[in-house]
Amino acid sequence: MRRRFLQRAVSDAEAHDVSKELFLGIMMLMLCLGIMILNVSQPVWRVHHHDPKPGDVVILYTAQGLVFSEDGRSVKRGLGPGEFRKTVGAMVAKPDQNLHLFLKGGSREQMVNDAAYADSLLSAGTAGQKVRPAVFVHLW
């Protein structure tokens, strides 16, 4: 009986290794921290990497409605009804021109719908495959 108890105690001590658990816990913590850092830094990089270039179409969604802009900050002129679709339609023939949509107090739902419409029209090639990222959405 005493011998069985000692054998069980020795086998339990070998099976329970705290250093392995500690190592795995630290590795999981580092993985979670890395994922959090990537999630925070990626949107900032994406927006600064795709700033509007000269010649791109920039539209601001404001509380007063849609307006054209040159840099995403200043207002150039307002868009009339149906002018968004005409502008996107004219961009189909200009493959090196991109569309930038900035949300500055306007309707987020309208911006998402307009972005989906423009992306389906501008980024698909003649065979239906994705050719370019033509629409950039800036939420701040």
pLDDT band of 44, cuts 50, 70, 90: very low
Higher pLDDT, 121 or 46: 121
Give the pLDDT score at 26. 92
Q: List the domain boundaries for the chain.
A: 2-49, 57-138
CA distance 91 to 104: 23
Q: Pick the residue with more confidence: 29 or 140? A: 29
Arithmetic mean of pLDDT over the chain = 77
Mean pLDDT computed over 7-30: 76
The pTM of the full predicted model, rounded to 2 decimals, is 0.60
* Average pLDDT for 24-46: 73
Q: What is the mean pLDDT of residues 37-41?
A: 65
End-to-end CA distance of the chain: 73
Token pair listed for 117: 């419409």
Strand ranges inside 1-140, DSSP E: 57-62, 65-69, 77-78, 99-104, 135-138
